[in-house]
Amino acid sequence: MAAKVDELEVRRVKRAISRNSRFALHALRTIYARCTLREQIAGRDLGERDGRGFTPFEMGRMIGLHDRLAARGWAATPDELDEVRGRMQKYAAQVIAASREARTEGRRGA
């Protein structure tokens, strides 16, 4: 079971996402990676309620944005960066959880 994410840590990550475009794009890639492969391929919500990835309402929009940015080598327009910085803040707890999972996996592999 995942450890509870500290609210102070969530606020710090939200602030980092809102102020740092590179970190916001990292958050977008992180949450995209937490979507199921089926969701990534379909580019829309498939009803898989696992608490990971984008919300059903934003799934199609954010997967499409991720794919467009990836195809352009992550060169984003100012409007796209504003959208990513604004929308990705709600996923701060998942970004933290993904970071913790990666550290745990790194320890297991070491």
The pLDDT tens digits for 4-23 are 779 999 999 999 999 999 99
CB 81 within 8 A of CB 28: no
Whole-prediction pTM: 0.87
Inter-CA distances, 53 with 29, 49, 67, 72, 85, Å: 10, 9, 15, 22, 16
Q: Average the pLDDT over 54-74 and give the result.
A: 96
| Residue 6 dihedral angles phi and psi, to the nearest 5° | -70, 135
Confidence of residue 107 (pLDDT cuts 50, 70, 90): low
**Domain regions of the chain by residue span:** 7-109
- pLDDT value at residue 1: 41
Q: Could you report the per-residue pLDDT of 21-50, keeping only the tens digit for each?
A: 999 999 999 999 999 898 998 888 888 778
Which parts of 1-110 fold into alpha helices (H)?
7-19, 21-34, 37-42, 59-71, 78-87, 92-109
Our CA dihedral for 93, 76, 81, 87, rounded to 10 degrees, sits at -40
Give residue 84's pLDDT: 98
